[in-house]
Chain A
Amino acid sequence: MIVIEHLSKWYGKNEVVKDFSLDIAEGESVALWGPNGAGKTTVVRAMLGLVAYQGRIEIGGLDAATHGKSTRRAMGYVPQELSFYDEMTVYDLLDYSAALRDIPTDRVDEVCELVELTDHAGKRVRELSGGLKQRLGIAIALFPDPPILLLDEPTSNLDAKSRDAAIGLLQGLRAEGRTLVVTSHHVEEMAMLVDRVVAMEEGAIKVICDPSDLAEELGLRAWLHLILPNGSDVEALRVLHKQGFSAKLNSRGLLVEVSAQGKGEAVAALQRAGVVIEDLEVWR
């Protein structure tokens, strides 16, 4: 469905994407993962023809460089930077996007309802919160009903509830057999949304793996923040150090460094030693 061969992109003397090659099958869901500046967004923009590039990108058998209108027609896009025409109303913006895609206007109402934007349809885009803008971006990407969705950090501006709703929506789209290309910082999110993760670093592919293996492959670490009853933190620290964990006290509890797959081990060690855990958070 999507074939990227030897994609390179230079900004001045800085090569931001280096010899990037990837095949994505029809109906497959792939995440581009990496820190800021890894080149994920540039790859997505190259697929849309928004940046000049070296190499070849094929979408549905068509060269994106020479068949840009056809390939863009097959793709819905949620940008990372949610920049639209700020003075337009939500409805007018969707209506304009529909006209540019030659889509009937009644689909605008349908999509507004799907992403719960109906109550905000009369607002100007500049009046929307980050979360509402994100929903607008998803609405714009969805309403041409495209076989491919490019989602550049699709949940980055959403609160927990909206994020769950968006993930549910995207899981539904994945189940329908659409091809998804998602960029995200969230490992857990990717596990719910994609079949493969392409980890990028400094513009190059570092590893391609199953999302459940990503943390292990990359040696990702996390911190467990444990809230313990008064007086038990010193005992907890002793138990954890004895088990080989790196742990330290902070003002509100105990911080334990764990591997991405080893969070349960620290908790189990404390429970075996009879230490009560009142609450815990995972920090990355």
Chain B
Amino acid sequence: MTAAQIETVTERLQPSLVGVIAGKEIRDAVASKWFWMWTVAFAGLAAFMAAAALPGSQVAGFGSFGRTAASLVALSQIIIPLMGLTLGAYSIAGQRESGALRFLLSHPISRSEAFIGTYLGLAVALGATVFGGFGVAGVITVAQGGGADASSFVRIALLSWLLAISMLGFGMLISTFTRRGNAALGVSIFVWLVFAFLGDLGVMATSVATKLPMWGLLVSAVLNPVEAFRLASLTAFSGSLDVLGPAGRYAVDTFGDQLGWILFTVATVWAVIPTLAAWARFSSGGDV
């Protein structure tokens, strides 16, 4: 081949290349012990919670399905952010640290293709874990005669996956700022603590200290993506936000039937924003 034969290829995003990279990520995930550890842990805990919800009893206003769903939401809001954040945080930083990212990007691919392929592959892997866990819980609930509201169950599962890819986006954003895999993991665990525990306490403390109005409390709650997911999920299966107290009742009164969709949109925005930020940072052409 000579100079005259140097062929130009499109600099635009090529879905086929994205697919090649995503496929590799999925194969890597399936071969990874971490993936199986998370999948088995999530499915096991989901199964335990579904089995523990006694059929026919009424606790805190929820039927057996409601209690299974509430338990799964509580499980999801702890486990899934940790999964998504750590997986995302290690993705780019780990490859950068090992030098494999340099190998990948020396190919005729764009950084956008590398990023999107990695993201999609990990999103599919997380989907397998989340839907696997919810599938196991659903089967157990139905087997116990739990009278499951299938559409609510599916909506919660979808919201859980949305939470997973939101956290994946945050994890990958951390990854683009970090050169070492372990440092990225450390930061991601700190962010998980903030989202899963400290953020909630912060909102409570702020609301007490500053006497936030109802709408202010609602907004500060959904500023935490994990809390936005929780409220969207609770609305999905119970139609109310009593857990949020007067602010929840205010939300139901103000937005009525639209509340579920509004919270779903907020959760979706939380899935998009960090991912776009990570993509922009990674594609900006810095050193590999």
Contact = CB atoms under 8 A, between A and B. Distances in A.
Contacts of A186: none
B9 A147 contact: no
Contact of A147 (B6, B8, B11): B6
Nearest to A141: B106
Interface of A: 1, 11, 26-27, 45, 48-52, 59-62, 65-70, 72-74, 77, 79, 81, 83-87, 96-97, 99-102, 140, 145-147, 177-179
A73 B109 CA distance: 9
B6 A60 contact: yes
B108 A73 contact: yes
Contacts of B17: 100
B8 A51 contact: no
Interface string B10-43: 1100001100110010001001000000000000
A49 B283 CA distance: 12
A73 B9 contact: yes
Nearest to A85: B100
Nearest to B110: A69
Contacts of B3: 1, 26, 60-61, 147, 179
Contacts of A179: 3
In the complex, the 4 A-B pairs of residues with the closest C-beta atoms, listed nearest first = A83-B99, A60-B6, A73-B108, A100-B107
Contacts of A96: 20, 24
14 contacts: A50-B288, A51-B287, A60-B6, A67-B8, A83-B99, A83-B103, A84-B99, A84-B100, A96-B20, A99-B20, A100-B17, A100-B107, A147-B3, A147-B6
B8 A62 contact: yes
A87 B6 contact: no
A179 B9 CA distance: 20
Contacts of B151: none
B107 A68 contact: no
B107 to A, nearest CB: 4
Contacts of B8: 62, 67, 70
Contacts of A66: 11
A169 B66 CA distance: 70
A50 B7 contact: no
Given A87-B28, A146-B1, 18 more contacts: A1-B3, A27-B2, A48-B105, A50-B106, A52-B285, A68-B11, A72-B108, A73-B108, A79-B99, A83-B98, A83-B99, A85-B103, A96-B20, A96-B24, A100-B107, A101-B108, A140-B103, A145-B1
A62 B288 contact: no
B5 interface: yes
A59 B10 CA distance: 16
B90 to A, nearest CB: 14
B1 to A, nearest CB: 4
Given A83-B98, A87-B31, A96-B24, A68 B2 contact: no
